[in-house]
Chain A
Amino acid sequence: MNLYEYQAKELFKKYGISIPSGKHVASEKDLQWEKFPVVVKAQVLTGGRGKAGGIKFANDSKDLMEKGKDVLAMSIKGLKVRSLLLEEKLDIAKEYYVSVTLDRSTKRPIIIASTSGGVEIEDVPDSKIVKYWIDPTIGYSPFVGREVAFKLNLPPDESKQFQAILARMFSLYEGYDCELVEINPLVVLKNGKVLAGDAKVVVDSDSLFRHTDLSENPAERTDLEELAYKRGYALVELGGDIGVIANGAGLTMATLDGLTLKGLKPKNFLDLGGSDDVEKVVGAFQILKEAKIRAILINIFGGVTHCDTVANGIAEAKKRVGIGVPIVVRLSGVNEDIGRGILKEHGIEAYSDMMDAINEVVEVVK
């Protein structure tokens, strides 16, 4: 789960990482500030807000009211700006980069740091980046911070502050099960103080059971994805016109790939997962009924999900949901014969081979 900058900075404050003085503002009436100039920052869960005009400077109360209203009315990359962060304008001398994240290859946390900050880290040459992997059973220890600071060649005064910040970032990374804790830029002020200019925190959604203080943010979902999410389905909207219901992420993806290779455009990814429940199948049809599609392909390889359960779900959906487009079914695996028998009674011939079913979809939408 992505956190907004203001939420990430609240966590920074909790962990003792220095941040600029600031205020979170969700409505016009709170557009007040004492010591100008002030920075007005749009709170959206996407990068590139600066380029999109989501960061503005205001010099007095009247200016703040105007610019604040402007930014609150914006949408950035299709996402509505719902709130702002007002922050003191910083007297910046230097901009660095530092992050803690997962390195999937080594299965370890990695610290990435650079004295070239303020830009995308992907655009910084490798020679200017310091990487340090942490052994999860040993964990973080102050020597790690010393080593990274020395490699970055930081002057003594900055080095001390940097090490303190890095240690606290790592505590936050572990304490909140983060996928990413990123400070870009890490700012060195003209007076020598080091603090977090921006803050990006991504929390592992699977860990939210132990972080009950975090409320769930509205994710970037389409209306159809939101509907499916509320009803407990894993659905990704893709924009085509063939509805897909399958079981298991890998088989669902393979079904989409198969349709795509045959020149068709799938509407969605919808994984029934490891369920064995007639109503779950019916519910999947109810969601697809809300989508504009020309046909539905159901591709099931029965394991935990039994084929007869799916067949009963399809029969129920036919009765109750009123689908209105052709349905093509493939059933293989546990109880496939019973499942095919049930469908036959309801006038549906199920395929046993996935390619035959995909080819049939090609035929029915011709």
Chain B
Amino acid sequence: MSILVNEDTRILVQGITGHQGSFNAIQMQKFGSKVVAGTSPGKGGTEVSGIPVYNTVRDALVEKPNATFISVAAPYVLDAAKEAMYNGIDLIYILTEKVPYQDTMKIVSLANKLGKRVLGPNGPGATSPFSCKLGIMPNQIFRKGNVGVISRSGTLTYEIVNQITINGLGESTVIGLGGDPVTGMNYIDALEEFKKDEQTAAVAMVGEIGGTAEEEAAEYIKNNFNKPVVSYITGRSAPPGKRMGHAGAIISRGKGTAESKVKALEEAGVRVASYPYEIPSLLKEVLK
């Protein structure tokens, strides 16, 4: 039945009148998501593609949103996330990039205490074909199926989802965690959900250099996960000390190398692909 987002997800878009907000609100609608409201202070009473716009999240509660898409500028993300949590929104997706990490840390810590979920910042969101898309993934790459996908990246996620789809498989839910050093959900949070999800038979985990999240996920998979996992890790050719685009994708003080992640995953019984296109054939093998 997919994870995180489904036909019961009612999306609020904070910052709906901005370029990203309005474009993606319409794309989510086209995908079939229930986009029930937007906020834009001072523009309450107007609408975007038939979606009612309110001045505040409090006002927008009349539309009963349970998830939010935040696309306000980086300096205002902490405030927007607090406004959503204070008003009881359960799932907070943050599209915005370049959010100061200490702001993200505060959002995540608060969310943990209040029992809310945070996805991102700086990620493509979550998509369950074809019941709900909360985020910015391209609409045409999906097919409904039994593979769960978790990734820290954007376009590389699309590449791999597309490979899965054109090779005759399909996805239960695709989760983009985000490319920052601190994000809300991590691999283990997503794996715990996929473990419980009946629709998901296998998981494709896309990782990259930086941090130790993949190693921690490998440890979790070894001890607690009962479904097959295949993986692709990028950044094998990245030199230490250089940020490869994502703020979180950096090998620092010898930690976070691709080799270390591949080794940890293989030791946990995960088949690791050398190229993205190998993911579908590995999936077919483990799904036999």
Asked whether A326 is an interface residue with its Cβ less than 8 Å from the other chain, the reply is: no
State the Cβ distance, A355 to closest chain B Cβ, in Å: 5
Q: Mark B40-77, 1 if CB is under 8 A from A, else 0.
A: 00000000000000000000000000000000001100
CB closest chain-A residue, reference B108: A107
B136 touches A304 (CB 8 A): yes
A253 touches B154 (CB 8 A): no
A206 to B180, CA, bound (A): 11
A204 touches B101 (CB 8 A): yes
Q: Which of B256-271 contact A (CB under 8 A)?
A: none
A206 touches B245 (CB 8 A): no
Q: Which of B126-148 contact A (CB under 8 A)?
A: 136-138, 140-141
Beyond A104-B212, A136-B109, A137-B106, is A249–B274 a contact (Cβ under 8 Å)? no
A204 touches B100 (CB 8 A): yes
A317 to B276, CA, bound (A): 29
State the Cβ distance, B101 to closest chain A Cβ, in Å: 6
Asked whether B277 is an interface residue with its Cβ less than 8 Å from the other chain, the reply is: yes
B236 touches A107 (CB 8 A): no
Question: Pick the contact of B234 from A234, A257, A266, A271 — CB < 8 Å?
Answer: A257
B99 touches A206 (CB 8 A): yes
A271 to B235, CA, bound (A): 14
Q: Which of B73-88 contact A (CB under 8 A)?
A: 74-75
Output the residue of B108, B159, B182, B216 with the most chain A CB within 10 A: B159
Asked whether B158 is an interface residue with its Cβ less than 8 Å from the other chain, the reply is: yes
Chain B positions within 8 Å of A253 at CB level = 156, 208-209, 234-235, 237-238, 244-245, 249
Asked whether A44 is an interface residue with its Cβ less than 8 Å from the other chain, the reply is: no
Q: Which of B90-109 contact A (CB under 8 A)?
A: 97-102, 105-106, 108-109
Chain B positions within 8 Å of A258 at CB level = 275
Q: How large is the interface on A (under 10, 10 to 19, 20 to 34, 35 or more residues)?
A: 35 or more
Chain B positions within 8 Å of A59 at CB level = none
Q: Which of A342-360 contact B (CB under 8 A)?
A: 353-355
Beyond A105-B211, A236-B242, is A250–B155 a contact (Cβ under 8 Å)? yes
Asked whether B34 is an interface residue with its Cβ less than 8 Å from the other chain, the reply is: no
A261 to B74, CA, bound (A): 37
Asked whether A332 is an interface residue with its Cβ less than 8 Å from the other chain, the reply is: yes
B182 touches A249 (CB 8 A): no
A332 touches B162 (CB 8 A): yes
Chain A positions within 8 Å of B211 at CB level = 104-105
Beyond A108-B109, A236-B243, is A204–B154 a contact (Cβ under 8 Å)? no
Q: Mark A172-190, 1 if CB is under 8 A from B, else 0.
A: 0010010100000000000
State the Cβ distance, A105 to closest chain B Cβ, in Å: 6
Beyond A251-B153, A332-B162, is A256–B101 a contact (Cβ under 8 Å)? no
Asked whether B287 is an interface residue with its Cβ less than 8 Å from the other chain, the reply is: no
Beyond A137-B113, A253-B244, is A333–B138 a contact (Cβ under 8 Å)? yes
Beyond A238-B237, A238-B239, A353-B277, is A303–B158 a contact (Cβ under 8 Å)? yes
A250 touches B141 (CB 8 A): no
Asked whether A313 is an interface residue with its Cβ less than 8 Å from the other chain, the reply is: no
State the Cβ distance, B19 to closest chain A Cβ, in Å: 10
B138 touches A302 (CB 8 A): yes
Question: Pick the contact of A206 from B100, B109, B239, B274 — CB < 8 Å?
Answer: B100
State the Cβ distance, A143 to closest chain B Cβ, in Å: 18
Chain B positions within 8 Å of A174 at CB level = 102
Chain A positions within 8 Å of B138 at CB level = 302-303, 333-334
Q: Mark A124-155, 1 if CB is under 8 A from B, else 0.
A: 00000000000111000000000000000000
Extra contacts, 16 of them, besides A102-B182, A259-B237 (Cβ < 8 A), are A104-B182, A107-B108, A107-B109, A135-B109, A174-B102, A204-B100, A206-B100, A236-B242, A246-B155, A247-B155, A251-B153, A251-B154, A253-B156, A254-B276, A303-B158, A333-B138
The 14 sampled A-B contact pairs (Cβ below 8 Å) are: A104-B212, A104-B248, A107-B109, A204-B101, A204-B102, A247-B155, A248-B154, A250-B152, A250-B208, A250-B234, A253-B245, A253-B249, A304-B136, A355-B277
